[in-house]
Amino acid sequence: MKRVLMTGAAGGIGTMLTPMLRSIYPELLLSDIRRPQGASDSSFVTADLTKFDEVAKACDGIDGILHFGGHSIEGTWDQIRTANIEGCYNLFEAARTKGVKRILFASSNHAIGFYPRTTHIGTNVTPRPDSRYGVSKVFGEALGALYAEKHGIGVTSLRIGNVGLKPLDHRRLSIWLHPDDLLQLCRIALEHPDIRNEVFYGASLNERTWWDNSAAYRFGYRPKHRAEDHRDYALAEQAKLPADPVGDFYQGGTFCSAEYSASAEDVW
């Protein structure tokens, strides 16, 4: 990978990854609707995902893409549809027309958020999205599969848990992803010779995990950071939060309980 494009570069994940990626990919190109702090004219291109021509221009001469762009939380249908569905399609189609070889698609745990926390799941389960945002991530995984199988792009869909320097509550002890471990997963997606169409979970070494991430391990993933090293902090923060009978039952947390209108008997 000589030239790598990262969309969503002005967001939280993009900001954390940029200095680490630059040390590996000197020709890293950043993209967003606003310029990240410190980005030079030569290392940044403005691209609105909803505008195909802008996305296609950003993909010129690119070998691999880290697609972190889009609406990163729950939103209205119009917000999700334009940024995460139409924008995702524009990204994959522009990549195809420009001959991009690899794409990492930032999926989310919210694509499978309605699985109970008592259930241990792999990557091949039926999607159970917990929000309109989660639905858009299911769409992105399906789109990635299409472009991998039909057009030969190596696609990795990464169901990210929660990225940060430490887990912030009880739930995140199960889904936490340290930036160093995320970088390792990005490199596998861009560089491993056998990537075709893969789904990985974006999680560090979490002893309380709900996910079987053996697919990532088969490709050499070896997380360096342990959630349990931050257990006391996470549990102390959890004690400050109100009880949430729906969110505390499902893996998706508050994304499940927000706008929830089914009866209590439907929680299973």
Checking 38-41 for CB contacts under 8 A at 24+ apart, the result is 39/9
Distance CA(171)–CA(154), nearest Å, equals 32
With CA atoms as reference, report the closest residue to 139 among 170, 108, 163, 164: 108
Distances (CA, A) of 44 to 10, 85, 101: 10, 23, 20
CA distance linking residue 20 with residue 118, whole number of Å:
35
Tokens representing residue 163 in the block:
């990225």
133 catalytic per annotation: yes
Q: Which of 25, 115, 133, 221 is catalytic?
A: 133
Within a 10 A sphere around the Cβ of 92, how many other Cβ atoms? 24
Distance CA 103, CA 156 (A): 6
- Contact yes or no for 13/68 (Cβ under 8 A): yes
Catalytic residues: 133
